[in-house]
Amino acid sequence: MPPTVCPAASHRSRTRTRRRRRLLRRGRGIHLLDIENLTGSPSPTAAQVTAFMSRYRGLVPVGPADQFVVAVNPRAVLSVGIALRGIQLLIRSGPDGADRALTECGYADRLPERFERVVIGSGDGHFTDLAAWLAGHGMHVTVVSKRGSLNWRLYLAAPEVVTFEPPVAQAA
């Protein structure tokens, strides 16, 4: 004879699971960074990435439980990997490769269950649907972009936008 399941016990189990998920999310953020877009270079140097990340931490609050996912093309793997030890690094070649890798991560990794907030570091319109989807699932969405490089659809989809001035190129 199959075991019977007590409806009250099943409800308590679902309630505990939901409570655990809320506790896991509390205060946690994830930063999805298209580092090539943010640095303005398809192959940023380790120095450019390090300089940008110092600036980034001044623009956006980073909590102790936050995670970073950075996407690059294969030519930038070494320099970005050296500059950003300990982060999840996604590699994708082709047109909009980094954008596609970050978008897939955003949908596939159950972000709304694991994080309260997400920072999308890019001004590309490719992230519009992802930003709207995450916001619709109760996440606080912030977009960080270079001033003048923010796609208007992404601007409208994101509840919060932070822009910064790109560094001025200096003559050697």
Neighbours of 17 (CB within 10 A): 10
Whichever domain contains 119, its CATH number is 3.40.50.1010
Distance CA 53, CA 172 (A): 23
Q: Is 123 a member of any domain?
A: yes
Residue 130: give the domain boundaries.
Answer: 25-164
Q: Is 46 a member of any domain?
A: yes
Q: Is 81 a member of any domain?
A: yes
Q: Is 60 a member of any domain?
A: yes
Identify which of 128, 19, 16, 35 has the alpha carbon closest to the alpha carbon of residue 78. Answer: 35
Question: What's the domain count of the chain?
Answer: 1
Q: Is 91 a member of any domain?
A: yes
CA dihedral for 122, 128, 133, 138, sign (positive or negative)? positive
Give me the tens of pLDDT residue by residue for the chain, a chain 172 residues long. Answer: 555 555 665 556 556 555 555 556 688 999 999 999 999 999 999 999 999 999 999 999 999 999 999 999 999 999 999 999 989 999 999 888 999 999 999 999 999 999 999 999 999 999 999 999 999 999 999 999 999 999 999 999 999 999 998 765 544 4
Contact 168, 145 (CB under 8 A): no
Distance CA 82, CA 101 (A): 20
Identify which of 106, 109, 74 has the alpha carbon closest to the alpha carbon of residue 91. Answer: 74
pTM of the model: 0.83
Distance CA 122, CA 39 (A): 10
Q: Is 42 a member of any domain?
A: yes
Which residue carries 């380790």 as its tokens?
46
Q: Is 113 a member of any domain?
A: yes
Q: Is 172 a member of any domain?
A: no
